[in-house]
A and B are shown apart, each in its own frame.
Chain A
Amino acid sequence: MTDSGDKGLVFNIQRFSVHDGPGIRTTVFFKGCPLRCLWCSNPESQDYRQTLIVRDMTCTACGKCVAVCPLKAISIDENSGRRIDWSKCNQCLRCVEACMYSSLNRCGDYMTVAEIIKEVARDTLFYKNSGGGVTISGGEPLLQHAFLMKLLPVCKDSGYHVALDTTGFASREVIKSILPYVDLVLFDIKHLDDETHRKLTGVGNKAILSNLREVAKASNIWLRVPLIEGLNDSAEEIEKIGKLAKAVGAEKVSLLPYHEGGVSKSYQIGREYLIPKAKPPSAQYIESLKCLLLKMGVKATVGS
């Protein structure tokens, strides 16, 4: 599937989303991401295809999936139940159709603009009363740029406040073209050192940082900083981010403590989780980072 722009590949539409911009929002999560952050809490969002995601809990070991898998990737074991040999799986998703118990599921739906808008429109009243709106997130939503160029104008025409949650990893043209339709950019900052950034996410940050400056010219910005103990949480680093926030005129810095969501999800999609011992910094330490930013005159919040 190429990004022809008629349909977008969406892996979740989260209503009552309140940590992704102001007020009560609906966040549309697009599938596919060029980064590979070690701590990724939604690893199922990385692959830019429809993929298999499993829920062992509801499996009854009925065996229906075994029968349909063309690659013999599934087996039933007396003790541990249904098992998947992920190295054999080619994501054909035939097993999903066979499973009656929602134990094998498809991650990702191709949706039209109208279908997405229908979902987003459901909570319009809540947006009005709370100052909320719609947030476009991922994965990296800008990967589906052609589709966004169809979706976002409709969002704007409908009067929604639009926030874009992005890694900033995209071409300058893509970024520039999208900004007129965006009220707020939630811009992820993972590390300011290019080499470290590459180690942590698989890509360097040069393009990202220069895109940030571009965004700053046209849109309100919240910098979003995931905090993983020992990886990017030094006071020094946060101070640098604070300076950056000031330089680009960001409205605030959101400190997002690491959470373990990615551990179980990696298992559910047959991936190894690379940093199983990762932890968020202690609440006390996070508070001190927040104070540090506040002292610099940078508005900071924790968790949203």
Chain B
Amino acid sequence: MAEIKENIKSRLVIKAVRNVRRGDVNESAERGMYRPDIKLDLQRSRLMTASYKATDGKPMIMRRAKAFENILANMDLYIQDWERIVGSNVSFPQGLYFGIDMNWRSVERIVRGKEGQSLLDEKGRSELKAMIDYWKGKSMSDRQQTLFTGPILKYWKYEGTFLWTHWSELGIPDYEMIFRVGLKGIIQEAETRLAEIDTVVPADYLEQKEFLNSAIIALKALIRFANRYAVMAREMAARTVEAEHKKRLLEIAETCEWVPENPPRTFLEALQSFFFIHVGRYVEYSTLGIGVRFDKIFGSYYEQDISDGRLTREEALEILQLLWVKFHELGLVYSPMLSGIYGGVESLQAITVGGVDQDGNDITNEMTYLVLETAQSMKTLEPSIAMRYHEGTPDKLLHKAAEVMHEGIGYPSMFNDKGLIPTLRKWDVPLEDARDYAVTGCVYIEIPGKNIARRAHGALVLPKCLWWALHSGINPENNEQWGAKTPDPAEFSSVNDILAAYLDQVRFFFGRMTKIENICRSLYETYLPRPFYSAVLEGCIEKGRDTRRWAYPSMVHDFVVIIGATNVVDSLSAIKRVVFENKLVTLPELIEIMDRNWEGHEEIRQACINAPKYGNDDEYVDLMARDVHYGTSSVLAEFSDRFGNPLRGDGSGVSATYGLAYHTPATPDGRKNADAFSDATLSPSQGSDFKGPTAVLKSAAKIDTEKTYNHLLNQKFLPSMLEGDMRDVFVSYLRTWGDMEISHIQFNVVDKETLLDAQKHPENYSDMIVRVAGYSAYFVDLSKGLQDSIIRRTEQTFE
């Protein structure tokens, strides 16, 4: 058994991006953004360009459907010897997906520069150039750039307070519906709807008709794509002598003839159907994440196969391992700037296990354990496993989870139904839907099958907002009024005054960011409709409207990643202690010292560092943390998306807590210019939690998820903590975390010495995985600074 697993692991293709930038400065471009065997795949771009040329003048949704069809009908397929589940969003295993329709500029730069030279050869480069000539003025970033004017244009340019990007979308298709009726069932429904509108003739007749026709094209395209694999597998089988291999190929042929067109009949068919839909979503548009509640969706297929004697447990495990390899083929190209935010990511795929069903009953089944065993045996970057916790989560499952965490891969990461379901209810999600939430990637919470084409449109750097508040919004370099015009710091007489000015700055910058995003979303609606994704969601066919033209009525939607909340908290605490209480310096003096990066005033910096810090169960500062989070979240909610849903933050700091910190000068918490921020919304600043892991939870629990947003909390534990008798203690720690209703927690289970040694001898640790934020990455892929910030996380040990 072990031998087979090793064998399977060797087939992994690693498409993780190495971070080469911090903010907009080069950090380590020379080592390249990708491993040398990874190549940019131009086929999708080529086929899309050809289709766009041929459909000029047609309605955009039809053009998108036709382009999707053209890609799926003509892209080269591959079936590797060992595969039992097939499909890819690229035409060869080492290929890297690239959305020329979104943003070609950064890719053009990457392949010319050091970071991506190996991605394309000369021929490829010139073909890319020719294609770009067509897309100039037509890609999303072109359209957006010509549309942004005035203050919008001014604030779009990144200066360190917020970063807005065309980042990929997430979203979870309605797999339960798809498995029930097959794509053919959806096609039938669309056809029925077409007939209906011909009799009723609604006001938006044309729009509906174009949408429904496009959806049918897209669905049929995916069925034919599957059938092409069937044909290919049969041809290969005819040429294959080796019996086992031949059998696998014929099995592929039969499977791909049946799904995704028809409802799956077996576990294997269900996985294959799912994977085709997943790939379809990735091909249509630049997307990320998975989100499927794996045990809930696949558990019954597995159990049926077992009771029918079609499948053994070992075989199921092997099929899952093979699927894990396939997940890894779905990487995508990042821009260098984004590499600083998503250092080490492939495509941020997470699957969800555990939790309750729509009626509130625990869903744990054998598949839950199989998923964990697969993760344990494969130890891959992706998919990350999001485990939902509730009171009824079996002890046995928690022990298994601890065993997998002990591998050091950073997951399963834990999500708390007790914190998140009430929060979703607060966001107007009906109870049944709230109970069905899933995690697509990082800590992104979504509702399977609902029209939530969410994206994180960027990152808001909260300590920079505080910094503006300490400078009246004036850029000291040129005296320009850049941020909100808040009072002169000399007038602040309490921490509350500063907090108010900080919130004004948040309001100012987030307001601008929201305008940019809302403009862009209307561009997406016009130029990037998604007929395929719409068709596999609940409600689009029924309404005859594309996913982008309406929205699931809840603020679960779009969010902004908020960075560095803890640094704001610790800064306010330091000001309170050092300026207002101990009166060591005045506030203007402190700002001046801080702006000189503390030079010559180490004693003041030490006094700031020694002020109470969040994460130690100390009310003095934890209550400020509450004010900062509650204040920030209500300012964000003052703004809404195009459909009127209030906006919100998201605790996923990704690696932006390091990458984007570059453009924030020194802050009052004693942090120096450009130093990394605390690594997540609920995490203490690195090395600032002295009171141990129970105190960290006590601090975190004071910030009510319901009043804020979904959070992320990192903890670093020594491996011994999860071993032997200690595992019981660890599980009880998890249960207490659950009782405290904290929305999330995850663990890096590794000792500092190992990490330090890995920095010294990267060659010995090429496959060592660590948790960065809501995802795991190969330690060696991360830049030195990001590695350091992980090493500096406080190690929770037992005394």
Contact A14 B617 (CB under 8 A): no
Q: State in angstroms the CA–CA spacing of A100 and B736 once bound together.
A: 37
Which residues of chain A come closer than 8 Å to B602, judged between CB atoms? 60
B431 at the A interface (CB under 8 A):
no
Quick check: A16 and B726 within 8 Å, CB to CB?
no
Residues of B within 8 A of A16 (CB): 692-695, 796, 798-799
A122 at the interface (CB under 8 A from B): yes
Please indicate which of the listed interface residues A19, A62, A122, A125 has the most CB atoms of chain B within 10 Å of its own CB. Answer: A125
Interface residue from B691, B694, B725, B728 paired with A126 (Cβ < 8 Å): B694
B607 to chain A, nearest CB (A): 6
State in angstroms the CA–CA spacing of A23 and B740 once bound together: 18
Residues on the A chain within 8 Å of B799, using CB: 14, 16-17, 19, 27
A101 — which chain B residues lie within 8 A by C-beta? 603, 606
A residues 110-140 touching B (CB-CB < 8 Å): 122-123, 125-126, 128-132
> Cβ of B728: which chain A residues have Cβ within 8 Å of it?
130
Tell me whether A219 is interfacial, beta carbon within 8 Å.
Answer: no
> Pick the contact of A18 from B695, B729, B739, B740 — CB < 8 Å?
B729
Q: Are A15 and B692 neighbours in the complex by a CB distance under 8 Å?
A: yes
Expressed in whole angstroms, the minimum distance between the Cβ of A186 and any Cβ of chain B is 14
Interface flag for B91 (CB, 8 Å): no
> How many angstroms from the CA of A227 to the CA of B370 in the assembled complex?
42
Q: What is the chain A residue whose CB lies nearest that of B739? A: A125
Measured CA separation A125–B740 after assembly (Å)? 9
A126 to B696, CA, bound (A): 12
Q: A16-B796, A60-B603 are in contact. Are A129 and B739 (CB under 8 A)?
A: yes
- Chain B 571-612 against A: per-residue CB contact (8 Å), 1 yes, 0 no? 000000000000000000000000000000011001100100
* B617 touching A126, Cβ below 8 Å: no
Interface string of A151-181 (1 = CB under 8 A from B): 0000000000000000000000000000000
Q: How far is the CA of A23 from the CA of B727 in the complex (A)?
A: 11
- Cross-chain contact A129 with B736 (CB below 8 angstroms): yes
Partner of B694, one of A27, A123, A304: A123
- The verdict on A130 contacting B733 (CB below 8 Å), with A18-B726, A19-B798, A122-B695 known, is yes
Cα–Cα distance between A192 and B729 once the two chains are bound (Å): 33
Q: For chains A and B in complex, what number of residue pairs have CB atoms within 8 angstroms?
A: 69
Q: What's the Cα separation between A274 and B729 when bound, in Å? A: 36
A58 CA to B736 CA, complexed, in Å: 36
* Cβ 8 A contact of A130, one of B606, B693, B729, B798: B729
| Distance A131 CA – B735 CA, assembled complex (angstroms) | 12
Interface centre among A19, A123, A131, by most chain B C-beta atoms within 10 angstroms, is A123
Q: Give the nearest-CB partner of B616 in chain A.
A: A15
| Cα distance A62–B602 in the bound complex, in angstroms | 10
Interface residue B494 (Cβ < 8 Å from any Cβ of A): no
Is there contact, CB below 8 Å, between A126 and B606? Answer: no
Is there a chain A Cβ closer than 8 Å to B732's Cβ? Answer: yes
* A266 CB within 8 Å of chain B: no
List which B514-547 residues lie within 8 A (CB) of chain A: none
**A100 and B733 contact, CB distance less than 8 A:** no
A234 contacts chain B at the CB level, 8 A cutoff: no
- Does A53 sit within 8 A of B, measured CB to CB? no
Chain B residue contacts of A58, Cβ below 8 A: 606
B35 at the interface (CB under 8 A from A): no
Give Cα A123–Cα B798 distance, bound, in whole angstroms: 15
Contact with B along A291-304 (1 / 0, CB 8 A): 00000000001001
Bound CA–CA A17/B733 (angstroms):
12
Contacts of B695 in A (CB 8 A): 15-16, 122
- With a cutoff of 8 Å between Cβ atoms, the chain A residues found around residue B607 in the complex are 100
User: Is A24 in the interface zone, CB < 8 Å from B?
Assistant: yes
- Complex CA gap A17/B694 in Å reads 10
State A132–B730 Cα separation when bound (angstroms). 12
Q: Which of A60, A100, A126, A304 contacts B732 (CB 8 A)?
A: A126
Q: Which residues of B contact A131 (CB under 8 A)?
A: 732
Which residues from A are CB-within-8-Å of B740? 125
Q: Which of B694, B695, B726, B728 has the most CB of A within 10 A?
A: B694
Chain B nearest Cβ from A5, distance in angstroms: 28
Is A102's CB within 8 Å of the partner chain B? Answer: yes
CB of B698 closer than 8 Å to a CB of A? yes
Give the number of chain A interface residues (Cβ < 8 Å).
Answer: 26
Bound-complex Cα distance A27 to B692 (A): 13
Hey, which chain B residues are within 8 Å of A62, CB to CB?
A: 603
Bound CA–CA A130/B602 (angstroms): 43
Which residues of A267-304 are within 8 A (CB) of B? 301, 304
Q: For the complex, what is the distance from the CA of A24 to the CA of B610, rounded to whole Å? A: 28
Point out the residue from A24, A129, A304 that lies within 8 Å of B725, measured CB to CB.
A304
Q: A15-B695, A101-B606 are in contact. Are A129 and B735 (CB under 8 A)?
A: yes
Asked whether B691 lies within 8 Å of A15 as measured between CB atoms, the reply is yes
Q: With a CB–CB cut-off of 8 A, which chain A residues contact B796?
A: 16
How distant is B311 from chain A, measured CB to nearest CB, in Å? Answer: 38
Alpha-carbon gap, A52 to B557, bound state (A): 56
Q: How far is the CA of A24 from the CA of B726 in the complex (A)?
A: 10
B603:A126 contact, CB within 8 angstroms: no
Chain B residues lying within 8 Å of A14, measured Cβ to Cβ, are: 692, 799
A132 to B739, CA, bound (A): 16
Q: How far is the CA of A14 from the CA of B799 in the complex (A)?
A: 8
- Give the docked Cα–Cα distance between A120 and B607 (Å): 28
Interface digits, A209-235 against B, CB 8 Å rule (1 contact, 0 not)? Answer: 000000000000000000000000000
Which residues in B have their C-beta under 8 angstroms from that of A24?
Answer: 694, 729, 732-733, 736
B675-701 CB contacts (< 8 Å) to partner A? 691-695, 698
- How distant is the Cα of A16 from the Cα of B729 in the complex, in angstroms? 10
Is the beta-carbon distance between B736 and A125 smaller than 8 angstroms? yes
Q: Contacting B733 at CB < 8 Å: which of A27, A102, A126, A304?
A: A126
A130 to B693, CA, bound (A): 14
Q: How far is the CB of B636 from chain A (nearest CB, A)?
A: 31
Instruction: Report B677 CB to chain A, min CB distance, Å.
Output: 23
Within 8 A of B (CB), among A217-265: none
Binary contact readout A55-76 vs B (1 if CB under 8 angstroms, 0 otherwise): 0001010100000000000000
Closest to A131 in B: B732
A128 partner residues in chain B, CB cutoff 8 A: 736
Chain B residues whose CB sits within 8 angstroms of the CB of A60 once the complex forms: 602-603, 606
Q: How far is the CB of A254 from chain B (nearest CB, A)?
A: 11
Once bound together, how far apart are the Cα atoms of A18 and B798, in whole Å? 6
* Cβ–Cβ < 8 Å partners of A100 in chain B: 603, 606-607
Residue on B nearest A60 in the bound complex, by CB: B602
Contact in complex: A126, B736 (CB < 8 Å) = yes
Query: CA A59 – CA B45 in complex, angstroms?
Result: 61
Chain A: minimal CB distance from B622 (Å): 12
Tell me the bound Cα distance from A272 to B796 in angstroms.
Answer: 30
**A23 and B729 contact, Cβ closer than 8 Å, known pairs A18-B798, A101-B606:** yes
Whether the Cβ atoms of B732 and A129 lie closer than 8 Å is yes
Residue of B nearest to A26 (CB): B694
For A14, A16, A301, which residue has the most chain B Cβ atoms within 10 angstroms? A16
Q: For the complex, what is the distance from the CA of A130 to the CA of B603, rounded to whole Å?
A: 43
Residues of A within 8 A of B694 (CB): 15-16, 24, 122-123, 126
Which residues of chain B are within 8 angstroms of A17 by Cβ–Cβ distance?
798-799
Q: Beyond the given A123-B698, A126-B736, A304-B798, could you list 14 further A-B residue pairs with CB under 8 A, ordered by the A residue number?
A: A18-B726, A18-B798, A19-B798, A27-B799, A60-B603, A60-B606, A100-B607, A101-B603, A122-B694, A122-B698, A128-B736, A130-B733, A130-B736, A131-B732
Give 30 A-B contacts (CB < 8 Å), ordered by A residue. A14-B799, A15-B691, A15-B694, A15-B695, A16-B692, A16-B694, A16-B798, A16-B799, A17-B798, A17-B799, A18-B726, A18-B729, A18-B798, A19-B798, A24-B729, A24-B732, A27-B799, A60-B602, A100-B607, A101-B603, A102-B606, A122-B694, A122-B698, A126-B694, A129-B733, A129-B739, A130-B736, A131-B732, A132-B732, A304-B798
Q: Sorted from nearest, which 10 A-B pairs have the closest CB atoms?
A: A130-B732, A16-B692, A129-B732, A18-B798, A16-B694, A129-B736, A123-B694, A129-B735, A15-B692, A126-B736
Which residues of B are at the interface with A, using a C-beta cutoff of 8 A? 602-603, 606-607, 610, 617, 691-695, 698, 725-726, 728-729, 732-733, 735-736, 739-740, 796, 798-799
